[in-house]
Amino acid sequence: MTAPPDDRAQLIDAITRQVMASLSATDGFASGQCATCSGGCAARCAPKVAEVVAGGATRVSYSGEAGNVPADLARYIDHTLLKPDATAADIDKLCAEAVQFHFASVCINPAWVARAAANLRGTGIPVASVIGFPFGATTAEIKAHEARVAVRAGAREIDMVINIGALKSGMHDVVRDDIGRVSDACHESGALNKVIIETALLTDREKVIVCQLAKQAKADFVKTSTGYASGGATVFDVALMREAVGPKMGVKASGGIRTRNDVEEMIAAGATRIGASAGVKIVTGEGGSSGRY
């Protein structure tokens, strides 16, 4: 039974307060509970990252000594190419790099799914594709159809963009239905649904709300960004999203992630997947140039 609007609003406020209170806790540092830490708390003590960002940090340094940040980062990275002018040769190269470095997936526009799936057949590396990208402003019916077409072409993961305007208008049922239809389209064929919430355009309260809606709509991941808005992933947003969805649901950080240090910080904050176009430079330690996604 659906809760009345007033009850839903009260529930959302309660969830938001709970999440933000968790992210604002700083007693651990004040009491010296993290006395062995020498500045890499996001890495050494991943649960403490929220306390760091609550103090005003927008980036958290990594000391390289954390047991819970893996040495092999490639398995976290969706090797991504979403430029509108990407060519067939570019897609072939992306797939070859994914095989060489054992990335988690390749993430591409729908028109290239069949080609990428053929390139990656037998490698164990799945194809991910984007739906309603990059604005999320098409209808739920179109998004669900687009997802089914991509899955039939060979995609095993779908990264959909929410209806951002509906969320900001308080139309939560519309947003939940939008996500749920794509989740259904994915799950009927065993594919995953990752929900891009576009954090740069949302308030903290809206981020918590949409994470809860995505969870209710049976999405598999929540994801920070398309890379085409005014900002990308931040440590704070990843920590907030992790708190909002709990320990079991996936959290993907994407947008502006260009170095190994970026990836380590996001994983320490709670990310279980990373979207990056600089994947090769990240895993080879070459850094990365500025660019979208």
- Structural tokens at position 89: 């040769």
- Structural tokens at position 205: 């309260």
Residue with tokens 């070859």: 96
- Structural tokens at position 90: 């570019």
Q: Which of the residues are catalytic?
A: 159, 223, 252
Gap between the Cα atoms of 49 and 216, Å rounded: 26
Question: What's the DSSP call for residue 125?
Answer: P
Three-state DSSP at 292 gives coil
- Structural tokens at position 114: 């069949």
Count CB atoms within 10 A of the CB of residue 155.
Answer: 30
What type of residue sits at position 148? R
What type of residue sits at position 239? A
Q: Is 148 exposed, middle or buried (0-12, 13-18, 19+ CB in 10 A)?
A: buried
